[in-house]
Amino acid sequence: MTRPCLLLAFLAAAAAVLAAAGLRPAAAETSFAIEHLRIGVVSGPSTRPVAERLEPFRAYVADKMGVPVDIVGLKDGQALIDAAATHRIDYAVFTGAAYAMAVKTCGCVEPLAAPKSVDGSAGIRAILVVRNDSPYRQPADLAGKTLSAPGPQSVASRLVGFAALAADGSEPTKLFGRIDTAKGPDAALRALIDKTTDAALAWSTLEGDIGEGYDRGTLHDLVARQALDMHQIRIIWKSELIPNGPHAVRSDLPLTVKNELRDLLVGLVDAAPDAYDAIEPTFGGGFVPIGHSSYLPLLRIVTPPGGNPLDAPPRAN
């Protein structure tokens, strides 16, 4: 037998001995398994109620992964980011903005899956709206005109809206002659309806019945309150999709663990509806796999603490 063959035989024999003893080489252990999974969620000041609510999810993950699972309640999004950055949690339920901030802060997380709504929408878009009787057909037509937009804590309508318009060649501070800050997307759109502005920034899923203002968003809310008829307005621009917040894990987790968790989430709504409802009470459409690039619209607008426009708790819209 040649020396290479002797080496292969030795390695095969060693592997057989380890397998018979129920052991694995150290390198294999770090590549294929973890001993404990810590799931971080925003709980507010008290962790007990959220831990009780999430027990069906915790128990299901523990059973399927075959490891102990703990729910770690944290007071806010910044605490959640800090816990991921300092290895105190392995898995986090983020908002989209918090995920983007975590990436900018530590570069230590990656998304697995994000929930979708029962209508099938996986996120929302910033939209630029004008009155239907106006001559404006594209953002460039609004040069020197007036824009009504919600304040800087409105992520989709204001922050993403401004950044995406600028990326499309229509920097709002240069395009518009005046920008009025409204109390929220609803107020911005009301200003348009009342003819006190030429255009307004709002948000929508742009999914569903157009006559009802789509399924969710500023238009839908006003139509539902009979404060808007969709024939009154026209959407002349929309941003990229801003996906719902992801379930994310630390990037240094073993690849097989990431894949197992992703598969678990994608199948959760059918396999364990009670566990799904526990962890995702807002969006009822199940999880879909998602990647880092889907959050680029949010990554463009966040900066680490010190120059962060999202220091205050952001609104989704």
Q: Where are the domains of the chain?
A: 33-119+244-299, 123-240
Using CA atoms, how far apart are residues 256 and 32, in angstroms rounded to an integer?
Answer: 6
CA distance 142 to 140: 5
What is the C-alpha separation between 181 and 117, in angstroms, rounded?
30
Which pLDDT score, from 0 to 100, does residue 157 have?
A: 87
Between 13 and 56, the more confident residue is 56
d(CA 100, CA 242): 11
Asked if residue 310 has pLDDT above 50, the reply is no
Out of 49-53, 93-97, 189-193, give the one with best mean pLDDT.
Answer: 189-193
Q: Are 149 and 160 in contact (CB under 8 A)?
A: no
Output the CA–CA distances (angstroms, integers) from residue 229 to 83, 212, 218, in the order listed.
46, 8, 12
Write out the CATH class of domain 33-119+244-299: alpha beta
CA of 55: how far to CAs of 62, 119, 177, 225, 280, in Å? 10, 27, 54, 37, 13
**pLDDT (tens digit per residue) in 280-308:** 998 999 999 999 999 998 888 876 655 44
C-alpha–C-alpha distance, residues 217 and 214, integer Å: 7
How far is residue 148's CA from residue 222's CA, in Å, rounded to a whole number? 16
**Average pLDDT rounded to a whole number, residues 200-220:** 93
Question: Which run of H or of E encompasses 55?
Answer: helix 55-65
Structure tokens at 69: 């699972």
Q: Which helix (H) or strand (E) holds 70?
A: strand 69-74
Q: Is the dihedral of CA 288, 292, 294, 300 positive or negative?
A: positive
CA distance 237 to 140: 11
pTM recorded for the entire structure: 0.75
Same fold, 33-119+244-299 and 123-240: yes
pLDDT at 304 (0 to 100): 63
pLDDT at residue 48, rounded to an integer: 75
Architecture of domain 123-240: 3-Layer(aba) Sandwich (3.40)
Contact call for residues 278 and 57 (beta carbons, < 8 A)? yes
- The pLDDT, as a whole number, for residue 21 is 37
> How open is the CA angle 297-108-70, to the nearest 5 degrees?
110
